[in-house]
Amino acid sequence: MAAQDTAEQLLHLKLAFLAGEPPASVLSLARKAGEGSITPHVQHFLLENCTSTNVEGRQNCTYTTTILKRIIAEIELSSGIVIDELYEEFAQRMLSKAKDPLLNKADYIYKEISFLPSSDDNTSPGLVSMVARLSCSSNMLEGDTGCSLWPSSLFLSEFILSYPKIFSKKCCLELGSGVGLVGICLNHIAASKVILTDGDSSTLTNMKENMELNNLCVGGEHPKLLDECTNKVECKYLSWEEVSESDLGGCQPDIVLGADIIYDPICVPHLVRVLSTMLRRDGYQGKTNGTSSDEFVTEGPIAYIAIVVRNVDTFNCFGKAAADAKLSVVNITSNAAPANFLPYMLSYDRSSVQLLRITSSS
Ligand SMILES: C[S@@+](CC[C@H](N)C(=O)[O-])C[C@H]1O[C@@H](n2cnc3c(N)ncnc32)[C@H](O)[C@@H]1O
């Protein structure tokens, strides 16, 4: 393998580890970097660049121990050479675990999601690589859905980074923001205002922590206090069932975003009500005078919603409710495919995600 390819494979291995990719994916990349086996060179790389590093000074103990265990088992099974340092690191971790069992019982895991612009990508020539640090539930089945990172938000983030002009200098509001990855991307491409919302309070607390992990100022109920801060994101409680028309009327985003928010048929009518109020064109104060040279100027607010269709009935129920509310829903997945900024993320199935563009005719 050429030296440049090896360096790229090793970089992917490191980024997959920092992103908390499933152990099977990390092992697969380790094998690839060693051209079929986890060589002593790859093991040294793992020790120096992965297992000894941590996200924001926080160690993901259980995760790291699992990866080490799986690697040692695989190499031994194939009668390869396990370097002494790898055994020592594993033994050290097992000893610490025996001394302090709580060390391995963290409810949250820290992930670093790195968006890598590829050299042959011409959709986003100005993009420099971007890293988002996130605290996510260590077991998504036990945590709230909003404390996990879902493929739709990876897709929506790639879309934002691929087409920054759509969002830059616009007021962007996300519904059901979860861990807040989309907000970090919107801030990166210089949206004029970023408002993240969620209807679950523990998710909102975790989201605010994530904004701070990424050095963003968090505004909530008192956004005016943050006027002087340029890197700011507002994090607000917004339940689709509870929010009133007047609360929604006070909020006039140019762009509404959502990732994996259409999955519960009970929530669909409430979500459609929120969307149709936010997308109303009457009274829209956006750039509609036609004098701007901005090719992304629009006649009214637009929503971009990324979804994985797990249940066709739920999706059809959304389509019907949207049509009744005079919303036009267009699937733009194939026309506006984002660039692949996450080449190391083997667990992310980009093809499972669809992107909807929604506008209102009223
Ligand atoms: C599947 S998660 C997706 C989270 C994030 N957008 C992502 O893709 O990683 C759905 C999110 O919508 C929020 N949510 C669900 N129902 C809601 C409702 N009725 N009102 C407000 N937020 C809601 C949840 O708290 C959760 O954060």
Report whether residue 146 contacts ligand 1, using a CB cutoff of 6 Å.
yes
Domain end marker among 75, 106, 137: 106
**Using a 6 Å cutoff on CB, does residue 149 contact ligand 1?**
yes
- Do residues 256 and 214 share a domain? yes
Atom 26 of ligand 1, nearest CA residue: 146
Range of 344's domain?
109-360
**How far does residue 206's CA lie from ligand 1's centre (Å)?**
13
Distance 196 CA to ligand 1 centre (A): 11
Q: How far is CA 137 from the centre of its chain?
A: 14
Q: What is the whole-number distance in angstroms between the Cα of residue 343 and the centre of ligand 1?
A: 26
Residues 88 and 231 in one domain: no
What is the C-alpha to C-alpha distance for residues 157 and 353, in angstroms, rounded to an integer? 12
What is the DSSP pairing of strand 302-307 with strand 130-137?
unpaired
Q: Cα-flanking dihedrals φ and ψ of residue 339, to 5°? A: -70, 160
Ligand 1 centre and the CA of 267: distance in Å? Answer: 10
Same domain, 63 and 137: no
Residue finishing a domain among 71, 106, 141 = 106
Q: Is 267 in the pocket of ligand 1 (CB under 6 A)?
A: yes
d(CA 50, CA 65): 12
**Residue-level pLDDT, tens digit, the chain, 362 residues:** 677 788 999 999 999 999 999 999 999 999 999 999 999 999 999 999 887 765 555 668 888 999 999 999 999 999 999 999 999 999 988 888 777 766 666 678 889 999 998 766 555 555 567 889 898 887 765 557 888 899 999 999 999 999 999 999 999 999 999 999 999 999 999 999 999 999 999 999 999 999 999 999 997 656 565 666 778 899 999 999 999 988 887 778 999 999 999 999 999 999 999 999 999 987 776 654 444 455 555 678 999 999 999 999 999 999 999 999 999 999 999 999 999 999 999 999 999 999 999 999 87
Same domain flag for 240 and 309: yes
| Same-domain pairing of 87 and 181 | no
- Which atom of ligand 1 sits closest to the CA of residue 181? 9
Q: How many folded domains does the chain comprise?
A: 2
Measured from the Cα of 151, ligand 1's closest atom is 8
Is residue 20 within 6 Å of ligand 1 at its C-beta? no
